[in-house]
Structure 1
Amino acid sequence: MAGQCVTGDTKLRRRRRRKSKAQNPNSKDDDWEEVPITAIKPGDEILSLNEETGEFVPNTVNQIMDMGEQEVYELVTAGGKKIRTTGNHPYLALPFEKPKQLRHVGKIEIDQSTRFEELAQDTSIGMVATRFIAAFVLQRRLKRHFDELFRLHGIPKLAAPVLFASSIVAGLQHARVHVSRLVIDNEYTGYEKLIESIIVSSFPQAAVAFKHVGKTSPSHHAALPKLRPSNTLVKRLSLTDLSQLFQLSSITKDRGKVLPRVYTTLPASRPYAITIGQDTFGVKRGLWTEARNLKIHQRIAVLGHNGQPVWELVKAIYKIGIEQTYDVEIDSTHNFVGNDIVAHNTYLGGAVSIAGNTTPEIDSTYDIGSSTQRWDALYVGSINTEGHIVPTITGNYDLGSAALHWNSL
């Protein structure tokens, strides 16, 4: 059977061997380097996802395998991550949900009333298109909540542009519109690329432009309660709406104070300490799904800007031809982070013979997540009356994936 592989230029994050014990053991800057899979050797420690805790951890490479030339696909995410992979290579993905019927509105013009950094008043985002007008309101108490959150993370200047962009995304999601172009009032000069990246992460098809909208524009009127037309759709944004857009699951309250999680130091190439524009409640409902069965707008697990696992939309998946391929076997977790995308590995000791035995005994247990696809190198569980393999599910973990138990005979 064909192996589950990636191409030789796939970058894995390898832990550097420290020369000094004085280095910060939690520093990503000092401890990790990106190297092609062809440079990996047995004994190296690479970044891998612990599915029980939902954290990225170092794990040891058992073997590196040359899998020969195979047909490969290119998988592209909305955030620009790319990996070339065989079609049967599994990736951790959310179950695909068919998009709801959307209203096509073409171009939407957007303006705000009361800037987000003005914490004493609510802020409204006005949106106007042909036969569409809406206003989405972020209340002052939530503005103060997020302002404190960003301040405690040491990035107070990002609060207003991130909230502006995230409120636009949340509003568009509520409106259930398919938009091809957004014209946004240039409120935050110098942060245009950040705002655009947040929006495009959730609406990859949208072209984003910035200009001075002006006080006489319909979107400005929609943002102001005293001027907006009576047919304006008005919706208050909630904490839940915005918690879908950046990492809030690690934030706790203690005696009325918002306490941020202590994040590890990030590489210089990753300037933001929060995850933006992605559904990031942690990797809780993922299923290992073959690349060729992934769908556009399905979400897969990736390494987020804050160093945590997050979901990101699939933008494209297509065949590109025959290439040389490789794979690794990772101890314990049996997955790796390739080009910042979570991918399963080949597990050489995990092939189970099922002939004459429909209920394998438990010899070793590996929590690898449940799968809705047939695996070429790994069979788990028992056989039903139709001859199909049925996973043995014994429990759910924080990650939301089922523990699969099997025995190698």
Structure 2
Amino acid sequence: EWQNSIGTALSVVNAAGNLGVGTTNPTAGALHVVGHCVTGDTRLRRKRKKKRTKKNLSKNDPPCKKCGHAATCDTCEYYELVRIDQIQPNDEVLTLEETTGKFIASKVKGLMDMGTQQVFELMTSHGKKIRTTANHPYLVKKPSKQQQESYIAGDLFITAQGAQKETEDYGESKGAVTPKDKSFAIRSPLGQQSTVYQPVEMLSTKWQKVAQLRPGMMIATIDGFEHVVSIQTLAQEQTYDIEVENTHNFVGNDIVAHNTYITGNVGIGTTPSSYKLDVAGELNLTDAIRVTGDAGTTGYLLTSSAG
């Protein structure tokens, strides 16, 4: 067990050999990390392809109503809403590319069962809700220096959201109207109507945990930045998270949320780490220590003490 200076347990290796980081009850596997979590019913947008049913298409046929591509395309891409606890490795889900502010599809590396934890309900000014743990970060828009100097308590102000356009096909011979600039389109698999979302403004943002959020702050959503209107404490609930390649975030219940991921070496009580697992301080292991090397090699345990 690893403890901080006041005796609070930070991590533990139990009798089953499971390593818990941020938890003293590692039940989710060999490595159980208590990180960024949401409830199992959080809905993500998963990318899908659907074959066109009409045969012998020609270039004179009307465009595909689902994707808006030319009639000769053989697949349609769309996003379906899926619970996070039903996501599979290699699924592609909607994420935010922070460098451009655009929404893109990114591959899921894995789903993590994060155990039962205290959850909080976060709600935005447009009614978007997500149930999440206190340490889950969300993308917050930092107020500009001018805003900080101009506003005082009690002021009423209105913020402009990103442009949004809706298009709909009205006949076989009329295609969807799309904007000239490059923006990401999310098309509902439930109908012909499509909504085009402009990229999120990324001029001054930071990731901030739920425990640090306050009503009035603005967080990133699929429709731009929205004000947080309430954060309610709820009961404990089963929680999950995913690891997403490259972007390391996902859109859950239309709110941009960070993901849990461990890459490279793990350091406990030390940074940076030079080893796969690097522990600074006393190490207390229950039962036996097993050291296994790679195929064809011998594992070893090296101990040393000053002097």
TM above 0.5, yes or no, is: yes
Alignment of 1:133-144 (within 5 A): none
Alignment of 1:102-181 (within 5 A): 176-177=155-156
- In structure 2, relative to structure 1, the CA distance for the partners of 1:52 and 1:293 (3 Å cut) is same
Alignment of 1:346-361 (within 5 A): 346-349=260-263, 352-353=266-267
Q: Are the equivalent residues in 1 in contact too, given 2:100–2:202 (CA < 8 A)?
A: no
Q: Are the equivalent residues in 2 in contact too, given 1:50–1:333 (CA < 8 A)?
A: yes
Give the Cα–Cα distance (whole angstroms) in 1 for the partners of residues 192 and 227 of structure 2: 21
Give the Cα–Cα distance (whole angstroms) in 2 for the partners of residues 76 and 6 of structure 1: 14
Shift of 1:349: 2.2
Out of 206, 214, 220, the residue aligned to residue 287 of structure 1 is 206
Shift of 1:25: 6.0
Shift of 1:283: 2.4
- 2:216 maps to 1:300: no
- In structure 2, relative to structure 1, the CA distance for the partners of 1:274 and 1:331 (3 Å cut) is closer
Q: Deviations over 1:147-189 (max 9, x none)?
A: xxxxxxxxxxxxxxxxxxxxxxxxxxxxx448xxxxxxxxxxx
List alignment gaps of at least 5 residues for structure 2: 1-21, 23-33, 58-63, 70-75, 165-178, 275-307
Out of 139, 151, 166, the residue aligned to residue 100 of structure 1 is 151
Give the Cα–Cα distance (whole angstroms) in 2 for the partners of residues 270 and 315 of structure 1: 30
Give the Cα–Cα distance (whole angstroms) in 2 for the partners of residues 82 and 354 of structure 1: 34
Q: Deviations over 1:248-304 (max 9, x none)?
A: 9xxxxxxxxxx84254364359876577xxxx8712211110011111010001001
**What is the identity, as a one-letter code, of the residue corresponding to 2:231?**
I
Give the Cα–Cα distance (whole angstroms) in 1 for the partners of residues 87 and 44 of structure 2: 8
- In structure 2, relative to structure 1, the CA distance for the partners of 1:288 and 1:356 (3 Å cut) is closer
Q: Secondary structure at the match of 2:139?
A: strand
Shift of 1:102: 5.5
- In structure 2, relative to structure 1, the CA distance for the partners of 1:45 and 1:357 (3 Å cut) is closer
Give the Cα–Cα distance (whole angstroms) in 2 for the partners of residues 46 and 356 of structure 1: 34
Out of 83, 105, 108, the residue aligned to residue 61 of structure 1 is 108
Out of 139, 156, 163, the residue aligned to residue 247 of structure 1 is 163
**What is the identity, as a one-letter code, of the residue corresponding to 2:163?**
Q
Give the Cα–Cα distance (whole angstroms) in 2 for the partners of residues 356 and 68 of structure 1: 26
Residue 12 of structure 1 corresponds to: 44
Q: Are the equivalent residues in 1 in contact too, given 2:134–2:209 (CA < 8 A)?
A: yes
Q: Secondary structure at the match of 2:211?
A: helix
Q: Secondary structure at the match of 2:267?
A: coil
Shift of 1:95: 2.7
Alignment of 1:29-108 (within 5 A): 30-95=77-142, 100-101=151-152
Residue 287 of structure 2 corresponds to: none
Q: Deviations over 1:214-249 (max 9, x none)?
A: xxxxxxxxxxxxxxxxxxxxxxxxxxx8xx34439x
- In structure 2, relative to structure 1, the CA distance for the partners of 1:324 and 1:25 (3 Å cut) is same
Q: Are the equivalent residues in 2 in contact too, given 1:42–1:63 (CA < 8 A)?
A: yes
Residue 326 of structure 1 corresponds to: 240
Q: Secondary structure at the match of 1:282?
A: coil
Give the Cα–Cα distance (whole angstroms) in 2 for the partners of residues 42 and 315 of structure 1: 34
- In structure 2, relative to structure 1, the CA distance for the partners of 1:26 and 1:85 (3 Å cut) is farther
TM-score (norm 2): 0.57
CA-atom RMSD in angstroms:
3.4
Shift of 1:26: 7.3
Q: Percent identity at matched positions?
A: 38
The structure whose RCO (Cα within 8 Å, separation 6+) is larger is 1
Give the Cα–Cα distance (whole angstroms) in 2 for the partners of residues 68 and 356 of structure 1: 26
Q: Are the equivalent residues in 1 in contact too, given 2:186–2:197 (CA < 8 A)?
A: no
Give the Cα–Cα distance (whole angstroms) in 1 for the partners of residues 265 and 258 of structure 2: 15
Give the Cα–Cα distance (whole angstroms) in 2 for the partners of residues 8 and 357 of structure 1: 33
Give the Cα–Cα distance (whole angstroms) in 1 for the partners of residues 87 and 237 of structure 2: 19
TM-score (norm 1): 0.44
Give the Cα–Cα distance (whole angstroms) in 1 for the partners of residues 37 and 128 of structure 2: 17
Residue 316 of structure 1 corresponds to: 230
Instruction: Flag the structure with higher helix content.
Output: 1
Q: Secondary structure at the match of 2:240?
A: strand
Q: Are the equivalent residues in 2 in contact too, given 1:81–1:341 (CA < 8 A)?
A: yes
